[in-house]
Amino acid sequence: MTRLNVYQLGQIDYASSYIWQKEFTEHRRPDTVDQIWCLEHYPVYTLGLSGKSEHILGQNHIPIVHSDRGGQVTYHGQGQLVIYLLLDLKRKGISVKKYVNLLEQAIICMLDALQISANRKIGAPGVYVNEKKIAALGVRIRKGCCYHGISLNIDMDLSPYTGINPCGYPGLAMTQIADFGHKLNVTNASLQLIPHIVEQLDYENYSLQDNGYKEILNSV
């Protein structure tokens, strides 16, 4: 199946979106159309399956949520684009390693179009600009289907990152698209990134939707 539905969901709290992703993945069928959800979260630290509490450096008002994605601790907040990809990787014949590589490449291509030179780092998933991290990836696979996805810093308050070792790396500096003179909002950024994701993952076409989550779950 080469169709793909893309949803703009606005601002959603992390815990709700986490539950929704698991529900969608649990209920999907072999013929369920793959989906991408574009959104932003209210401030939250999330700890992946291998997350260690020592990477949270101090107490503050930002809540901490445990997640079943891979990786260590990261931060989500307004002004950051979060893209959740709910795909049947087995149906598409894509390995997890290749999937991560394709997502990274999609981000690199989008940034290149903005004349921002970005790269990967061996052994440290994500996308970097001048040794600073601009995008993080987290993946979970269940019965050949994936959820979680990408966070790309657009125009946000980066100071909460100082309260953690981002992705488990002490002293890792963060950056964002706004630092390079581009004034994008999360929706505009998603509309620029999605075509690159579609191309990298080899979908024939995609459809932009504006349904709420209840309609999404009913479409499974």
**Dihedral angle sign, alpha carbons of residues 71, 174, 177, 200:** negative
Helices (H), 4-135: 14-27, 89-92, 96-113
167 is a catalytic site residue: yes
C-alpha atoms less than 13 angstroms from C-alpha of 113 in its C-beta half-sphere: 11
Decide: 220 and 28 in contact? Cβ < 8 Å. Answer: yes
**Amino acid in the structure at residue 95:** S
Residue 207, burial from CB neighbour count under 10 angstroms (0-12, 13-18, 19+): exposed
Element (H, E) at 216: helix 213-218
Question: Is the CB of residue 65 less than 8 Å from the CB of residue 42?
Answer: no
Enter the tokens of residue 70. Answer: 């891979």
| Tokens 């291509």 sit on residue | 109
Catalytic residues: 167
